[in-house]
């Protein structure tokens, strides 16, 4: 039987995929019995990230236990917290403030009551799967204050009546991520509105209410302020500890994200459930699919999963797209653009390769209008394997020549918000007066520096080592010695190449995290100067946009000017494979 749990919501919000949503409602053995796609292990690193997430949850719960001692309630298995009965905790009427971690709640009537309260009809409710139990990471029970707002079972919020004796319940979720996102925020909002319904079902709403002060405890800080407070002042008051804990949280705005939750149940889930056969559900392969268990990217699969993939190619999106020429194989085509083309009768890659740039279908969508001269050629490239260059193309961000070319790669973990590796390579030809030929050349070979542990200290060490190498390069090309930069070394033209803007931004953020160490007076001048080449927000006054920085984002150039036989999305690896498939 299909079941709905909070992971179903968060996965859908990340992928916006109808097919993935429907399949995620079933257990693997149920999918197999139905003859539907069974999940494959998405990527080798996904389970590692999940394990790190669990470890981070436990670490933050240990921080709470260290700060609040007996005021924290939970069930431990050895050193690890596991789920505990939320009803038992609340029925005991805990003295505020008190925390409960991994508090589990469910009720046989929770689904029906919640869906009725948000306005679904009985005919719609009967189609919604049953609910699993829900387990928020942290619930704080505290004395209500005048600025608290109560979350009602229908998603409305109201002020708390003066003089009330009910205690406020504040919900937060621990996330192994550098910052909050919409799917994480929506999970916490879902917990809140479900708990508001559950309190009434359990007749606990006379003693407690759900406060709209929701939060996410992320990895924005490697060491929490709570731990620092206790280390610096073991006798800190409970009020100081509570305020420090609340200051750790990224606030989740309930009214904003409740709209997402409401739309999911009232429209998205009902639309998907109305389709009886999964194969008729809409799907589209793009970068959002990288952690989906139904993607079917062969290179990421273990041997047993490859056998499953080969036996059921139509079950998995990458192989199915290849077999039918699905339009999502055209790397720059968005979901909306694809649907517009399909509605006009252009249903596969072959059809798009034959559409003229003047075809009226391109006027029906802004993205199609902008890409009308390229889409047919990109489709042709997928069919033939040939690389072509757009005619009459011009670019200002990809110079024809630069004396010094620096190529940088920045790998990062979006979960922790930290860098994972940095790579660099550089090529130099000495600048000489016009009409002369340069004979001095130098190459700094490809070098990769990898973080061995995901910590701020390790990131700082690797980052400074990386920047020191760049400083060495700049020092060389500016040296007037004849075997280095030469007499015109100070006029050396420079161009720095990144794959995309996101890599540049992550490098700039990392520099911002360690800016004090980089710009210290004793730091070498060239290294300090690099902070301005990759400036973090702290160095940009009034959010000014950098002007005239010698930086090229290769993905932008490739997407605009080249037609490559690359399916689904442009990545550094699949573009490189096009030119170096050996």
Q: What is the pLDDT of residues 366-392, one digit of tens each?
A: 999 988 888 999 999 999 999 988 887
pLDDT at 434: 84
Residue 442, both tokens: 């130098």
DSSP state of 129: P
What is each CA distance from 435 to 432, 440, 482, 535, in whole angstroms? Answer: 8, 15, 18, 36
pLDDT at 525: 65
pLDDT at 197: 98
pLDDT at 64: 95
DSSP state of 520: -
- 198 versus 521: the higher-pLDDT residue is 198
Q: How far apart are CA 519 and CA 467, in angstroms?
A: 12
CB-CB contact of 332 with 284 (8 Å): no
pLDDT tens, position by position, 264-274: 999 999 999 99
Q: Provide mean pLDDT across the span 437-452.
A: 92
Residue 435, both tokens: 């009409």
Owner of token pair 């600025």: 147
**Residues near 194 by Cβ (< 8 Å), separated by ≥ 6?**
105, 110, 114, 134
Q: How far apart are CA 125 and CA 568, in angstroms?
A: 37
pLDDT-based confidence at 537, cuts 50/70/90?
low
pLDDT at 3: 94
CB-CB contact of 225 with 60 (8 Å): no
Among residues of the chain, what percentage have pLDDT more than 90?
73
DSSP state of 119: T
Say whether 424 sits in a helix, a strand or coil.
Answer: strand
Residue 541 has pLDDT above 60, yes or no: no
Q: How far apart are CA 70 and CA 86, in angstroms?
A: 17
The residue among 422, 424, 413 whose CA lies nearest residue 455 is: 413
Q: Provide mean pLDDT across the span 443-458.
A: 91
Q: How far apart are CA 299 and CA 316, in angstroms?
A: 14
Q: How far apart are CA 65 and CA 57, in angstroms?
A: 12
Q: How far apart are CA 61 and CA 54, in angstroms?
A: 11
β-pair partners for 80:
77
pLDDT at 546: 42
Q: How far apart are CA 169 and CA 551, in angstroms?
A: 49
| Least confident range of 174-178, 335-339, 475-479 | 174-178
Cis peptide preceding 193, ω within 30 of 0: no
CB-CB contact of 317 with 291 (8 Å): no
User: What sections of 202-327 are H helices per DSSP?
Assistant: 225-232, 238-248, 254-263, 269-273, 303-311, 317-324
Average pLDDT, the chain: 90
pLDDT tens, position by position, 225-241: 899 999 999 999 999 99
Opening angle at CA 30, ends 27 and 31, nearest 5: 90
CA 492, distance to chain mean position in Å, is 39
Q: How far apart are CA 416 and CA 176, in angstroms?
A: 6
Residues, the chain, total?
582
pLDDT at 352: 94
Q: How far apart are CA 252 and CA 259, in angstroms?
A: 13
Residue 199 has pLDDT above 50, yes or no: yes
Dihedral angle computed from the Cα positions of residues 569, 575, 578 and 580, in that order, rounded to the nearest 10 degrees: -150
Q: How far apart are CA 569 and CA 567, in angstroms?
A: 6
Helix/strand/coil (H, E, C) string of 13-54? HHHCCHHHHHHCCCCHHHHHHHCCCCCCCCCHHHHHHHHHHH
pLDDT tens, position by position, 107-166: 999 999 999 999 999 999 999 999 999 999 999 999 999 889 999 999 999 999 888 899
Q: How far apart are CA 238 and CA 244, in angstroms?
A: 10
pLDDT tens, position by position, 180-192: 789 999 999 999 9
Q: Provide mean pLDDT across the span 419-424.
A: 95
Q: How far apart are CA 467 and CA 499, in angstroms?
A: 18
Helix/strand/coil (H, E, C) string of 48-106? HHHHHHHHHHHHHHHHHHHHHHHHEECEEECCEEECEEHHHHHHCCCCCCEEEECEEEC
**Residues near 311 by Cβ (< 8 Å), separated by ≥ 6?**
none
pLDDT at 1: 84
**Residues near 5 by Cβ (< 8 Å), separated by ≥ 6?**
131, 132, 134
pLDDT-based confidence at 435, cuts 50/70/90?
confident
pLDDT-based confidence at 547, cuts 50/70/90?
very low
pLDDT at 524: 62
pLDDT at 519: 77
pLDDT tens, position by position, 260-307: 999 999 999 999 999 999 999 999 999 899 889 999 999 889 899 999
| Residue 146 φ then ψ, to 5° | -65, -25
Q: How far apart are CA 537 and CA 544, in angstroms?
A: 9
Residue 43 has pLDDT above 70, yes or no: no
pLDDT at 542: 37
Residue 539 has pLDDT above 80, yes or no: no
């Amino acid at each position: 039987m299909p079941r709905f749990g909070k992971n179903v919501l968060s996965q859908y919000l990340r992928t916006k995929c109808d097919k993935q949503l429907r399949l995620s409602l079933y257990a693997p053995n149920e999918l197999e019995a139905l003859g539907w796609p069974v999940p494959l292990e998405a990527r080798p690193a996904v389970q590692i990230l999940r394990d790190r997430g669990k470890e981070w949850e436990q670490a933050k719960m240990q921080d709470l236990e260290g700060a609040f001692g007996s005021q924290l309630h939970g069930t431990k298995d050895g050193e690890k917290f596991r789920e505990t009965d939320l009803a038992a905790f609340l029925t005991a009427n805990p003295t505020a403030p008190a925390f409960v971690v991994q508090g589990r709640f469910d009720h046989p009537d929770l689904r029906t009551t919640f869906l009725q309260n948000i306005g679904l009809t009985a005919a719609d409710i009967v189609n919604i799967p049953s609910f699993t139990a829900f387990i928020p990471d942290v619930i704080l029970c505290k004395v209500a204050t005048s600025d608290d707002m109560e979350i009602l079972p229908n998603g409305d919020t109201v002020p708390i009546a003066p003089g009330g004796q009910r205690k406020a319940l504040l919900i937060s979720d621990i996330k192994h991520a550098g910052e909050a996102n919409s799917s994480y925020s929506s999970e916490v909002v879902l917990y809140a509105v479900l708990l508001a319904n559950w309190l009434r079902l359990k007749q606990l709403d006379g003693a407690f209410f759900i406060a709209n002060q929701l939060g996410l405890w992320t990895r924005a800080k490697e060491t929490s302020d709570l731990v620092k407070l206790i280390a610096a002042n073991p006798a800190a008051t409970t009020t100081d500890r509570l305020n420090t804990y609340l200051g750790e949280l990224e606030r989740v705005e309930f009214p904003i994200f409740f709209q997402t939750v409401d739309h999911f149940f009232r429209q998205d889930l009902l639309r998907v459930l109305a389709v009886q056969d999964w194969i008729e559900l809409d799907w589209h392969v793009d970068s959002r699919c990288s952690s989906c268990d139904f993607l079917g990217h062969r290179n990421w699969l273990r041997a047993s999963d490859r056998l499953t993939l080969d036996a059921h190619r139509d079950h998995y999106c990458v192989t199915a797209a290849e077999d039918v020429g699905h339009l999502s194989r055209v790397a720059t085509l968005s979901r909306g653009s694809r649907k517009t083309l399909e509605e006009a009768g252009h249903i596969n890659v072959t059809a798009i390769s034959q559409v003229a740039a003047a075809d009226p279908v391109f006027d029906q969508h802004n993205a199609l209008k902008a890409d009308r001269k390229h889409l047919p050629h990109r489709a042709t490239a997928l069919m033939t394997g040939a690389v072509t260059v757009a005619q009459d193309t011009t670019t200002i961000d990809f110079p024809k020549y630069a004396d010094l070319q620096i190529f940088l790669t920045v790998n990062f973990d979006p979960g922790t918000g930290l860098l994972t590796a940095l790579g660099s390579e550089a090529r130099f030809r000495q600048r000489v007066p016009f009409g002369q030929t340069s004979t001095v050349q130098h190459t700094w070979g490809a070098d990769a520096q990898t973080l061995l542990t995901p910590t701020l200290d390790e990131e700082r060490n690797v980052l400074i080592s990386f920047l020191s190498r760049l400083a060495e390069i700049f020092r060389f090309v500016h040296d007037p010695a004849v075997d280095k930069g030469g007499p015109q070394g100070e006029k050396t033209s420079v161009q720095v190449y990144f794959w995309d803007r996101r890599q540049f931004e992550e490098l700039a953020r990392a520099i911002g995290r360690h800016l004090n160490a980089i710009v210290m007076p004793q730091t070498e001048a060239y290294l300090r100067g690099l902070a301005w080449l990759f400036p973090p927000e702290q160095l940009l006054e009034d959010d000014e946009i950098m002007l005239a920085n010698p930086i090229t984002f290769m993905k932008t150039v490739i997407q605009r000017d080249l037609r490559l036989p690359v399916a689904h999305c442009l990545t550094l690896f699949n573009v490189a494979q096009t030119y170096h498939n050996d």
